[in-house]
Each structure stands twice: as structure tokens, then as C-alpha cells.
């Protein structure tokens, strides 16, 4: 059992799916929009679903149309969808109530706090969680501690106002220590390639999950 929610993103193979399910993550994420190196098709997701249980299956989408996302929700019985920050508000309204919604927001060094605040405010009534993705923008925890491009106090303020998950490289900081400082609802971690079929080292992720583990 984990002390906070964790979303595993961009899963492409069974080794990752079974690993994250064994750690009782809240969501297993599969990128269903075509054209990315980590994209998977519906048949792959359906096959992987047969091997895991007790977790929410999340379809991750780029600029897919609302009707295509709804079709995937029905076909794969998705619990959750994760939407790009570029998806129009009309897509959010069309999906509202059809599945749990995670709105991804990629934070870049040039994105102002005011722009982030505006997006959070304008979409808060349609989403269940915001995923603030610092990793895609190359921002790490040390940057925030140094106030670049946002301070930890600013992130704390967002987390107090909105249901926030973060994808953020913590360096040597424990996720439990970070969560004590900043009231995040959870963390996102990434799947990755197998070193060979059926084998992958999870040493770094083991340390992350062990820090969050509640022994009962």
C-alpha cells in the first residue's frame, strides 16, 4: 500500500504493467494517440489488461478528437483519460462525466505562473486531477527550490487550490518528504523500454516506491 496516489505513464509492455500494478499504483497509463514512439494501439492495451487488476486503466491522448477518445473509453472500458494541455475546452466538456479526467499541463521555463493559473482556473470544473508535468519541460525539484521558474511556495499554493499530481525529478529527495512540504495528491512516473524481452531493471523506481510504501 502506498501513502499517496501514483500514476504510471506511457506503458508499452507487460513487464512495466505488472511491475506498477504490483506496487498498487492508482493508474496505468497507455498513450493511445498514434505517432509517438511510446504509442500503443487498442489491441495491445486490451491484451495487457488481461494481466493486471486492481488499478485504473488510463488512456493518454494528444490532440485526438473527442469522438475518438469516447470510442476508446467505450471499447477499452477506460476508467480515466489524460488529455493534452492543447486540447480544446470543447473536448473537456464532451468527456465530462464519461470518465475520470486528468488534465496534463507541461511547465516550461518560459511559461508564466499567471498562464498556469489561468489554465487551472478555466478547467477546474471539468477535470478530476491536474498533472503538472515539470519533467517534460526539463524542470527539476532543485530548480523550484531555487525559485526557477516557479518557487515551491507557488507550487504549494496551486496544490492547496487544485487537485494536483506532479511529474518531477526529485533528485535525492524522498517523495514522502516532498509531499510533506507540498500537498500534492500524488506523483507520476514513466514507463520505459525493456533491456531485453521480459527483463528490465527497476532499481531507481524501487527506491521511489519503497519510500512511499506503508507497511501493514
Q: What is the pLDDT along the chain (216 residues), one digit of tens a residue?
A: 999 999 999 999 999 999 999 999 999 999 999 988 899 999 999 999 999 999 999 999 999 999 999 999 999 999 999 999 999 999 999 999 999 999 999 999 999 999 999 999 999 999 999 999 999 999 999 999 999 999 999 999 999 999 999 999 998 899 999 999 999 999 999 998 877 777 788 998 999 999 999 975
Burial class (CB in 10 A: 0-12, 13-18, 19+), 78: buried
Write the CATH number for 143.
Answer: 3.20.20.70
Q: What is the pLDDT of residue 143?
A: 95
Q: How many CB atoms lie within 10 A of CB 43?
A: 9
Ramachandran class of 203: left when φ > 0, alpha when ψ lies in -120 to 50, beta otherwise: alpha
Burial class (CB in 10 A: 0-12, 13-18, 19+), 140: middle
Q: How confident is the model over 79-95, as pLDDT tens digits?
A: 999 999 999 999 999 99
Q: What is the pLDDT of residue 74?
A: 97
Q: How confident is the model over 191-212, as pLDDT tens digits?
A: 988 777 777 889 989 999 999 9
CA neighbor of 25 nearest in space, from 38, 16, 34? 16
Angle at alpha carbon of residue 5, lines to 211 and 121, rounded to 5°: 130
CA 204 – CA 207 distance, rounded (Å): 5
- 175 CB-side CA count, 13 A: 26
Domains contained in the chain, number: 1
DSSP string, the chain: -BSSEEEEES--SHHHHHHHHHTT-SEEEEE-STTSTTB--HHHHHHHHTT--SSEEEEE-SS--HHHHHHHHHHHT-SEEEE-TTS-HHHHHHHBTTBEEEEEEE--TT--HHHHHHHHHHHTTT-SEEEEE-GGGT-BHHHHHTTSSS-HHHHHHHHHHS-EEEE-B-TTS-HHHHHHHS--SEEEEE----SBTTB---HHHHHHHHHHB---
Range of the domain at 21: 5-212
- 28 CB-side CA count, 13 A: 28
Q: What is the pLDDT of residue 4?
A: 97
CA 144 – CA 154 distance, rounded (Å): 9
Amino acid at each position: 500500500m502506498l501513502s499517496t496516489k501514483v500514476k504510471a505513464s506511457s506503458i508499452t509492455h507487460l513487464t512495466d504493467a505488472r511491475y506498477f500494478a504490483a506496487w498498487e499504483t492508482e493508474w496505468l497509463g497507455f498513450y493511445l494517440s498514434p505517432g509517438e514512439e511510446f504509442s500503443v494501439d487498442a489491441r495491445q492495451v486490451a491484451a495487457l489488461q488481461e494481466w493486471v487488476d486492481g488499478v485504473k486503466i488510463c488512456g493518454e491522448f494528444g490532440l485526438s478528437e473527442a469522438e475518438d477518445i469516447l470510442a476508446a473509453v467505450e471499447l477499452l472500458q477506460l476508467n480515466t483519460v489524460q488529455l493534452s494541455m492543447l486540447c480544446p475546452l470543447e473536448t473537456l466538456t464532451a468527456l465530462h462525466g464519461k470518465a475520470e479526467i486528468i488534465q496534463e499541463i507541461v511547465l516550461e521555463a518560459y511559461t508564466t505562473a499567471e498562464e498556469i493559473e489561468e489554465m487551472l482556473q478555466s478547467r477546474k470544473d471539468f477535470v478530476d486531477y491536474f498533472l503538472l508535468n515539470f519533467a517534460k519541460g526539463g524542470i527539476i525539484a532543485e530548480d523550484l527550490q531555487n525559485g526557477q521558474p516557479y518557487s515551491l511556495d507557488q507550487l504549494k499554493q496551486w496544490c492547496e487550490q487544485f487537485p494536483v499530481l506532479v511529474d518531477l525529478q526529485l533528485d535525492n529527495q524522498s517523495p514522502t518528504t516532498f509531499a510533506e512540504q507540498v500537498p500534492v495528491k500524488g506523483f507520476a512516473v514513466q514507463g520505459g523500454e525493456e533491456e531485453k524481452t521480459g527483463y528490465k531493471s527497476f532499481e531507481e523506481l524501487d527506491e521511489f516506491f519503497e519510500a512511499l510504501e506503508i507497511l501493514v
